[in-house]
Amino acid sequence: MVARTRFDDSECPVARSVDAIGDWWSLLIVRDAFDGSRRFGEFQRSLGVAKNILTARLRTLVAGGVLESVPASDGSAYREYVLTPKGKALFPVIVALRQWGEQNFFTPGESHSELVDRRQGHRLRALEVLSSDGRRLDPDDTTVHKISTQ
């Protein structure tokens, strides 16, 4: 599916997002980028992914405007991969997946990595889906509308 079936033409934003990211590896690359990974080798060691796959995914992410290839920050001749603004905008997606995982796939007390507020070292507040006037919304409180924007 990754390369053959495309959702680009879908009018569902979820489908376009999914298509733009590419596959799960790509999402984990983005996660690592949020966690500070920048270099090819860092991603490779962290993920344990085959190098040819990593190469392909990094290329896709750069082509899709999620990552950007920049000169290495340490002055070496190598390059680094950093999140673009579009990539950083994936933050809520990663946080949402992280919180879902924490709540559903860890037994209480089981060790896991944790995303914390840098200033206070505290865990983040759980994401909330809110209406425009600030009410907390459950899935059942929402409905999908086919519209022309305008």
Partner DNA sequence: CTTCTTTGGTAGCATGTTGCAACCGTTGTG
Partner DNA sequence: CACAACGGTTGCAACATGCTACCAAAGAAG
DSSP type of residue 123: B
Please state, in angstroms and rounded to a whole number, the distance separating the CA atoms of residues 29 and 141. Answer: 33
Q: Residues 15, 18, 28, 56: which binds DNA (CB under 7 A)? A: 56
Among residues 36, 6, 40, the alpha carbon closest in space to that of 21 is found at 6
Does 5 sit near DNA (CB under 7 A)?
yes
Of the candidate spans 54-62, 69-77, 105-113, the one that interacts with a second copy by CB under 8 A turns out to be 105-113
Q: Is 144 in the site for a second copy (CB under 8 A)?
A: yes
CB atoms within 10 A of CB 25: 21
- Which residue in 16, 79, 82, 93 binds DNA (CB under 7 A)? 79
With CA atoms as reference, report the closest residue to 82 among 116, 58, 113: 58
78 binding partner (options DNA, a second copy, none; Cβ < 5 to 8 Å by kind): DNA
Q: Of a second copy, DNA, none, which one does residue 62 interact with (CB within 5 to 8 Å by kind)?
A: none
